[in-house]
Amino acid sequence: MAQQAKDGCGRRLTRRQFLTAAGAGAAGAAALKLAPWEAGAAPAQIRGTSLRILTWSHFVPAYDTAFDKYAADWGQKNGVTVRVDHIPIDQLPARIASELAAGAGHDIFQMNGQIQTTLYYKNMVDVSDICDRLGKQGGGWIPMAKNVAVVGGHWYALPEFYIPQPVLWRTDLFKEYGLKVPSTWDDLRAAAKVGKPKSHAAGMAISHCNDANHNWRAVFYAFGVKEADPTGKEPAWDSKELREAMRWSKALWSEGMTSEVFSWDNVSDNRSLDSGVAIWIHDAISAIRSIQDSNPTLYNNVNIAIDGLEPRGPAGRFAVVDPTILGIWKFSKNQAAAKAFLEEYGGDVKFSLVESKGYNMPYLKKWYTKPMPSLGDDPKVKLLQDWDKVAYVFGYPGPATAAASEVLSTFVLPDMLARYCRGEDLESAIKWGMGQIKSIYAKYKS
Amino acid sequence: MADAELAVGRRVGVRHRAFTRERLVFGYSLLVPAILYMALLVGVPFFFSLYLALSDASVGNQVAQYVGLRNFIAIFQDSTVRLALRNTIVFTVIAGIFKIVLGTLMAFLLVQEIPGKKFIRSLVVLPWTLPVAISALAWKWMFDPQFSAINYVATRLHLIHGWPNWLGEPGLAPAAVIAVNVWRGFPFAAIVLMAGMSAVPPELLDAAKVDGATFFLRYQHIVIPLIAPILFVGLLFDTVFTLSDISIVYLLTMGGPENFTEILPTRAFEIGIQAGALGRGAAIALVLFPILVPVVYFLLRNLRRREAL
């Protein structure tokens, strides 16, 4: 009797069975060189510590609630006091800068949309070990992940999720006007041209807002425009493809949009669609989530994405997404807990997909196996399950460098297009834009 | 006798010098807290900004190298910074004029003896006391290209034709930003002027009235000279507030359309904080300094001269 033990199910094991199981477990852990938390248990040294996380106020408010609970539960399980602070997305860059300047603040911080890993990486903890393990478990990272989190071959942040901005188009209006189901950017331009005189203009912001940045990049990339060389060091905007994209974009604006787009902010397109005006917009799915309950008729009449992807252009289909990453400050006094949290959260992609109702798209390839959690069950958003095939980030085809980030944050692309749309000569508008871009890249080279 | 007088004179001189020195030491020691306060709150940030502006500091690189005037040369080669500089000066001057005119009119109304005067005064200062984020967002809604309440009312009253895009047109957006700045700032001007006007002895005005001075003559020759010190301080405050006001532009237009509402503080924030180029951002912010110095000097010199009269 004394030579028998019980397993987890209460079954009795012989001494031989017990020793075999224990030996195999120990050998396995030793062979994999797992740290305690890597095997599912938190290291003893993080117990009794505290962890502070800085993240955005999610566009799906329920996700914030779920994330806070997730973090609190993780803290309770591991004996760590976790505090999560949510701030508006626009305030993240300033907050991150001030925390580094002060050498104090949160342990984990989020970069969202404006990715500046190349600027901050010297002050961020190398999390290559975590990302390598998560990559292996998750079937590898989609190519874009490296562009936002890797500098010099090292991972300095955990790719958290990205936000897709598909075309949201009105099936009822397309049917009413006898328009074919869109497949290309030209199809959408034709639809906008028909819709505008009937008070159903299309809309993409050409203004100082983030939507303008990624929407027009999606169009420009589809015309073959490249922001930089593959290393990200030399700007490569100035090309015949840029001129073609500019001409086409101006035609789209003049034929199918109104001047309202020059003053739109990040939610103006949502309002345009949700008020029943826009025949199509190009935005995150939050635009229709907000009318799912309040206006089910309109909700049912809006389709997401084109052929399940972005519209096709002369150079293919390109989606320019809003990436988010999570980094750990080197000044953090609790890096062990921060790494333990990132590893668990980064591996729990299902939580992110389900609680965000398909808003948070994963960077790990395995999770694109259909049906994806949350997306696969929802006929409205299940078309987004192939988004990894078209997902790119600013700076394409290079990484999201500090220079590319500054081009983004100073709205050079929307301003260059706005100048041309308002009557400035094409070459003059491009000359202005290239002057801004070259000056920015030169600064980071010197 | 002469020696005795000399000795007494020397003693008196020594005592006087000692007394003067003690007074000086005592006087300066009283000034020390104020000097320390100014040095810590104004001097340190200013010289730190100067240090940043002369370096290649970035948010991610804490070890900065001296680059001389390279940042200043670079920012003046940037057409957006030049536009921001022009906008900053134009905004400040136009908004200042409107605030003086409207503030003066409002001050005249507020000094009148009317029923509910206190309540009206408290209502008038509301725009100034409201948090800027709330008032700017309210204005943003009123200027919204799709749902503008201003357009809705004005078109129905046949005051305007069409549907102006207040924040999207290069000609209208700067006007909209100035309008919000004036709306927020003129109550401050009104309160400052009202405080000054209340201190003007009524018998002076009555005497001028008896002598046949018109309203404008009384205002020009009696009211303005008497309230000039308050007027100058108010003008100085307002100039500094307007020159450095980032919030209205940031919340209404983010510097758009096409940088037509970009001002130096927003550009400094974009480059220094959002893009992380601290050195260049600090250089942009410091462009305001040589603009402000002559303004402050001129106003304070006038103030001193008037006080000496």
Residues in chain A: 446
Question: Domain map of chain B by residue range?
Answer: 75-308
Crossing angle of the two packed helices B278-286 and B288-308, in degrees rounded to 10: 30
Predicted confidence (pLDDT) per residue in B129-163, tens digit? 889 989 999 999 999 988 899 999 999 999 988 88
Interface test with A, best of B56, B177, B258, B273 (most A CBs within 10 A): B258
- What is the percentage of chain B residues whose pLDDT exceeds 70? 94
φ and ψ of A53, to 5 deg: -120, 130
Q: Which residues of A touch B (CB under 8 A)?
A: 93-94, 96-97, 100-101, 114, 116, 119-123, 207-209, 259-265, 268, 271-272, 275, 277, 402, 405-406, 409-411, 414-415, 418-419, 422, 432, 435-436, 439, 443, 446
Closest CA to A355 of A55, A57, A58, A66: A66
Task: Convert the pLDDT of each residue in A265-293 to its tens digit.
Answer: 988 999 999 999 999 999 998 888 888 88
Superfamily for domain range B75-308? MetI-like (1.10.3720.10)
Residue B280 has pLDDT above 80, yes or no: yes
What CA–CA distances, in Å, run from B144 to B28, B54, B170, B251? 57, 41, 15, 13
Q: What is the pLDDT of residue A1?
A: 35
Q: How many residues does chain B have?
A: 309
Phi-psi region of A393 (alpha: psi -120 to 50; beta: other; left: phi over 0): beta
The SS3 of residue A249 is helix
Residues in chain A within 8 Å Cβ distance of B278: 97
pLDDT above 60 for B306? yes
Angle between helices B132-142 and B149-156 (to 10 degrees): 50
CA atoms in the 13 A half-sphere facing the CB of A87: 15
* Amino acid letter, residue A218: A
Name the residue with tokens 């420009």.
A220
DSSP one-letter code for A180: P
Specify whether domain A44-162+322-386 bears CATH 3.40.190.10: yes
Cis, bond preceding A371 (omega within 30 deg of 0): yes
Whether A415 sits inside 8 A of B276 (CB atoms) is: no
Query: Under CATH, which number does the domain A167-320+410-445 receive?
Result: 3.40.190.10
Residue type for position B160: I
Q: Could you tell me which residues are beta bridge partners of residue A322?
A: A163
Higher pLDDT, B291 or B166: B166
Q: How far is B144 from chain A (nearest CA, A)?
A: 8
Task: Report the distance separating Cα B135 and Cα B115, nearest Å.
Answer: 28
For residue A178, the tally of other CB atoms under 10 A from its CB is 7
Which residue, A160, A185, A88, A168, is CA-closest to A351?
Answer: A160
Indicate the burial class of B168 (C-beta count within 10 angstroms; 0-12, 13-18, 19 or more): buried
- Asked whether the beta carbons of residue A93 and residue B61 sit closer than 8 angstroms, the reply is no
B254 touching chain A per CB within 8 A: yes
Most confident of A33-47, A52-66, B198-212, B217-231: A52-66
pTM: 0.85
Residue B152, H or E segment = helix B149-156
The radius of gyration of chain B from alpha carbons, rounded to an integer in Å, stands at: 26
Residue corresponding to tokens 């462009």 = B287
Segment B197-214 shows an average pLDDT of 89
Output the pLDDT for position B6.
63
Contact check, Cβ <8 Å, B145/A263? yes
Cα atoms in the Cβ-side hemisphere of radius 13 Å centred on A336: 16
Name the residue of chain B whose CA is nearest to A417's CA.
B258
Q: What is the pLDDT of residue B1?
A: 53
Q: Indicate if the pLDDT at residue B4 is higher than 70.
A: no
Question: Tokens 């100067």 identify what position?
Answer: B50
CA distance B298 to B303: 9
- Which positions in chain B touch A437 (Cβ < 8 Å)? none
CB contacts, 8 Å: A259 with chain B: 145, 165, 168-169
pLDDT in tens, chain A (446 residues): 334 444 434 444 455 554 444 444 444 444 444 444 444 455 678 888 999 999 999 988 899 999 999 999 999 999 999 999 999 988 899 899 999 989 999 999 999 998 999 999 999 999 999 999 999 999 999 999 999 999 999 999 999 999 999 999 999 999 999 999 999 999 999 999 999 999 999 999 999 999 999 999 999 999 999 999 999 999 999 999 999 999 999 999 999 999 999 999 988 999 999 999 999 999 998 888 888 888 999 999 999 988 889 999 999 999 999 999 999 999 999 999 999 999 999 999 999 999 998 899 999 999 999 999 989 988 888 889 999 999 999 999 999 999 999 999 999 999 999 999 999 999 999 999 999 999 999 988 76
Going edge to edge, which strands form the sheet with A302-304?
A280-282, A167-170, A302-304
Percent of chain B's residues with pLDDT above 90 = 45
Q: How far apart are CA B83 and CA B28, in angstroms?
A: 45
Of B168, B269, B270, the CB nearest to A207: B168
Whether ipTM exceeds 0.85: no
Q: Give the position of tokens 């955990």.
A: A158
Closest Cα to residue A191, out of A199, A294, A201?
A201
Name which of A260, A409, A419 is nearest B275 (Cβ-Cβ). A409
pLDDT in tens, A49-96: 999 999 999 988 899 999 999 999 999 999 999 999 999 988 899 899
Q: How many CA atoms lie within 13 A of B3 on its CB side?
A: 0
Task: Report the C-alpha gap between A128 and A321 in whole angstroms.
Answer: 23
Does B68 contact A at CB distance below 8 Å?
A: no
DSSP secondary structure code for residue B167 in this structure: T
SS3 assignment, position A179: coil
Give the residue, A36 or B126, on which the prediction is more confident.
B126
CB count in 10 Å sphere of residue B185? 24
DSSP A43: -
Residue of B nearest to A267 (CA): B144
